[in-house]
Copies of this chain bind each other. A is one copy, B any other.
Amino acid sequence: MTCVPGTTPYPWPWHGELDPERLALLLVSCYADDRPPPGDLAAVVRAAGGLVAGVRVRAPRPAAGESAASWIDMPVSAPGWADVPVSAPSWADVLVSVPGWDGFYAGPLDALLRRHGRDLLLLAGCCLETGVHSTLRSANDRGYECLLVADATRAARADLRAGAVSTIEMSGGIFGAVGASAAVAAALTGKE
């Protein structure tokens, strides 16, 4: 039995089989620069044998000063969400860009994770209430065992953070469990 220490509301993963070969870290990013979350979570996961996937949701986003409506109406011939560069950044194995807030909608994320045998998912990134939450909910529906790495997420509004975390934890972990990046690192490196 290997679990990430200190996760709530239950020891994660539920079956106690924290096999790095079944593990993937989804870094959901809403940053303009697609930068990864702070710290070395991605490096730790890769070193242990986990897969690191950048998940660019609502891509491309409206440029500064544009409304969402202008994005919706964007001419097809303009650089659009079907035309975004998809080469993976240095901190990821793959990068998936999708049009919605849910990283699984209208893209290859589910096919990619299945092909690589990854059914244990760590979720982090920004923003917690939007892309991270939608992607985690969708992953849970698809049968993935999910852990929100809470300190590796950024909330769009500070007052909504606690509710977003509680919604995952309620009813015994209705959408998965919640943990900390240091605990993930400890579990994967065997050090405490």
Contact = CB atoms under 8 A, between A and B. Distances in A.
A167 B85 CA distance: 30
A74 to B, nearest CB: 9
Interface in A128-184: 129-130, 133-134, 137-138, 140-143, 156-157, 159-160, 162-164, 166-167, 170-172, 174-175
Contact of A51 (B76, B81, B143, B175): B76
A83 B97 CA distance: 10
Nearest to A80: B94
Nearest to A161: B163
A160 B166 contact: yes
Contacts of A100: 111, 140-142
A95 B76 CA distance: 10
A88 interface: yes
A72 interface: yes
